[in-house]
Structure formats: C-alpha cells, structure tokens
Amino acid sequence: MKICVLPGDGIGPEITAEAVRVLMALDMKFEMEEALLGGCAVDAAGSPYPEATQKLAQAADAVLLGAVGGPQWDNNPRELRPERGLLGIRKQLGLFANLRPAILYPELANASTLKPEVVAGLDILIVRELTGDIYFGQPRGIEMRDVDGKHQRFGFNTMHYTESEIRRIVRVAFDAARKRNKRVCSVDKMNVLECTQLWRDVATEVADEYADVELSHMLVDNAAMQLVKNPKQFDVIVTGNMFGDILSDEASMLTGSIGMLPSASLDENNKGLYEPSHGSAPDIAGKGVANPLATILSAAMMLRYTFNREEAAQRIETAVKKVLSQGFRTGDIFEPGMKKVGTKEMGDAVLAAL
Ligand code: NAD
C-alpha cells in the first residue's frame, strides 16, 4: 500500500502531518513517501508539479494532499502558479470522479447557517464528474460574429458527454451508495439540454445493474432548492462537472465548517487523490491552529475507496466523532464551553480516541 504524501503550501504540512500520524497508528503496512506540489515545488524545483513528484504519484496507489497556493505565488506566470500543479496531477492520474461528502456532526449543528433541525446529522455524498462537460468541450471561445444584424462579440462553449463517460461516473455513485444507504439521485437538466437527456437515459440503464440501489432523478434547479430546504432527503447525488461544481459547494456550506470536509478524486481503478475541501489558509499557516480533521477524514476515505478497508475507515471516523463529543475544538469550530486545541493537540486527541 504505497501512499504519496504531498503536504503542499500554507497549512498543508501541518494538517497532513496529523493525518500521517493517524494512518501510522493503524498498524497497517503503508509505504509513505513525501514530495513537493504547488508553490513550494515552484520555489524548490521551478515547477508546480516537478518530475520527481510525477514519478512518485504515478507509482503510488494513493495520494494524500494537504493544499496548495498562497499570495506569494498569485502574480506568477500561469504555468508557475500552484494551482497548475493541482490540475496537472488530476489530469495525469486520470481522476474523473470527485467524491465530496457533506457531513454535519450533531455536535457541530450550530456551525451551519441553517436551522439545526434541518442539518443536524446530515450525511450526503456528492459524486461529481471531473474531466468532461462544458468545462472541456470544444469549440469554445469569444470571437467577433455577425449576429442579429450586428457585428458583435459572441461567447460560446460546448456541453458534451459520451455514454461511456456517463456510465463510469454513475457506476462510481452506485458503488458508493452500496457502502451507504443505497439511494442515488441523478441530477440533470433534461427538460432543456439534450446532453443531459442522455445523462438521464444512461443513469437509468446503469440502475438495471444495481437491483439493491434505488435511483431517482432531479432537475438541477430543483436539486439546488432541495439541498437547502430538506438536505437530509439525499444519500448519494451524482451529476456532471458543472452542476457538480456548484452543488458540491452548496452542500459543503450546509455544514458551515470548512475544516471538517474531506474529498476524494478517483480514477478507473480506484486509485485516488485525497485532500481536504478547503485551501491552504495562508492567514493561519505556521501558527499550529488549523483544523486537521478534514485531512484525517480524507485519509479515512482513502482506506474506504482505494484500499477497500471499510473497518479501518470507520475506526478513524468514529475516533473523530469521539473527539468532537469530548468537546475538543480547533478555532474554526470553537464554541464557548468547549476545549480549544491546536492542530497537534487535535491529532493527539484523535490518536487517543483510536
Ligand atoms: P481557504 O480554504 O484556504 O481559507 C478560507 C478560510 O477558511 C480562511 O479564513 C482559513 O483560515 C479558513 N480555513 C481553511 N481551512 C481551515 C482549517 N483546516 N482550519 C481552520 N481554518 C481553515 O480558501 P482561500 O483563502 O480562498 O484560499 C487560500 C489559498 O488556498 C489560495 O491560494 C487558493 O488558491 C488556495 N486553494 C487551494 C485549494 C486546494 O489546494 N485544493 C482549494 C481552495 C483554495
């Protein structure tokens, strides 16, 4: 079980260190090696995704990433920006399935801007297609055209999906649902977009392979509304790149606690890149106050999806629930009456709970 560890920038090194400690405590046979990605890689090797990192990432079974980016690299030429490293590794590893759980632990129900009874105990999973859709379709551009009797600027993009692209992402959602509450809601806009009519048709075909999982369909505008109105009706939501981009951010904000949300991006063989949903938080970097739980929970997702070790994944998730019920809180989720701790103390608490 080879893991490539990419701490990255900002709080990245602090939070990945805690996730690594948790993985090591499981007494499983991991081989871990660290490499550079992002701004630190630009500074040390002149590239946000250096060759040495590429080799290590390609040879590993899974990648654990902290976060990349920071103001010191914001004015670099585009090819030397930290984000290029992230896009590069996602593309090179063929990571087409983005899994973002939105979980709100009952202890943190007050962190949400929604009423506690609407969100307490929320546990949904958004499965977003990452490599297709209108974000990548050709032709695209802005050009001068003669339209409506006027010579004017014309902007255009192309939405497309092949049935095989749809089938493989919908299967990821069904497989994930099998490990959860066995319900998939496929989100599209079939009343207007032919491309998403195909999405609905293929999703319906895939459902025939999974008699034990229930499939429903929802139009994206209704899904956006239902996520706020009654988010607990969902188990797994599967959708395309653009709708998934928007809905996964909406869903993650239902929880109000960015330091708690893990994510996974998987390839065809369940090799994956695991990272917290938040960024490198330069404002608190180096202070030892960042919340490591999103990264620790990302490590749990790694055990579940790449290494197929559901029990070990649940051990970590149960330990996280335990430290929350014991009252341990980093600054981002702190409430009066709780025990305020830093990054390392939170890691210590999870280790003790394990
Ligand atoms: P951010 O997520 O880094 O920070 C937003 C706010 O949340 C900040 O106030 C930060 O202190 C807080 N925060 C984030 N994670 C936290 C944690 N674990 N514990 C406690 N507080 C936490 O978003 P941003 O400020 O918009 O971006 C900062 C940098 O991160 C930028 O350079 C951006 O490009 C980059 N970024 C990277 C990724 C990634 O690596 N996947 C994702 C998003 C943003």
> Considering only CA atoms, which of 219, 230, 236, 106 is closest in space to residue 176?
236
Catalytic residue annotation: 135, 189, 221, 245, 249
CA dist 312 and 315 (Å) reads 5
Q: Is the CB of 280 under 6 A from ligand 1?
A: yes
Ligand 1 atom closest to the Cα of residue 8 is 40
**1-96+267-354 with 102-259: one CATH topology?**
yes
* 66-84 residue pLDDT tens: 999 999 999 999 899 999 9
pLDDT at residue 256 tops 80: no
pLDDT at residue 107 tops 90: no
**Which residue ranges make up each domain of the chain?**
1-96+267-354, 102-259
CA dist 119 and 224 (Å) reads 15
Beta-sheet pairing, 183-188 with 236-239:
parallel
Q: Is the CB of 288 under 6 A from ligand 1?
A: no
> Considering only CA atoms, which of 108, 18, 66, 26 is closest in space to residue 348?
18
pLDDT at res. 105: 87
Residues 141, 156 contacting (CB under 8 angstroms):
yes
pLDDT at res. 146: 97
Q: To 10 degrees, the CA torsion angle through 189, 191, 196, 199?
A: 100
Residue whose pair of structure tokens reads 């010191």 in the numeric block = 72
Burial bucket for residue 147 (CB in 10 Å: 0-12, 13-18, 19+) = exposed
Give the orientation angle of helix 220-229 with respect to helix 241-255, to 10 degrees: 10
pLDDT at residue 249 tops 90: no
Task: Give me the helices (H) in 60-162, please.
Answer: 82-92, 116-119
The DSSP bridge partners found for residue 188 are: 219
Burial bucket for residue 113 (CB in 10 Å: 0-12, 13-18, 19+) = exposed
Q: Is the dihedral of CA 340, 345, 349, 354 positive or negative?
A: positive
* Class of domain 102-259 as given by CATH: alpha beta
Please state, in angstroms and as integers, the Cα–Cα distance from residue 206 to each residue in 120, 159, 172, 235, 267, following that order. 32, 22, 11, 17, 19
* 108-137 residue pLDDT tens: 888 888 998 899 889 999 999 999 999 889
pLDDT at res. 112: 85
The CATH homologous superfamily for domain 1-96+267-354 is Isopropylmalate Dehydrogenase (3.40.718.10)
Q: Is the CB of 48 under 6 A from ligand 1?
A: no
Q: How confident is the model at residue 27 (pLDDT cuts 50, 70, 90)?
A: confident
Q: Is the CB of 184 under 6 A from ligand 1?
A: no
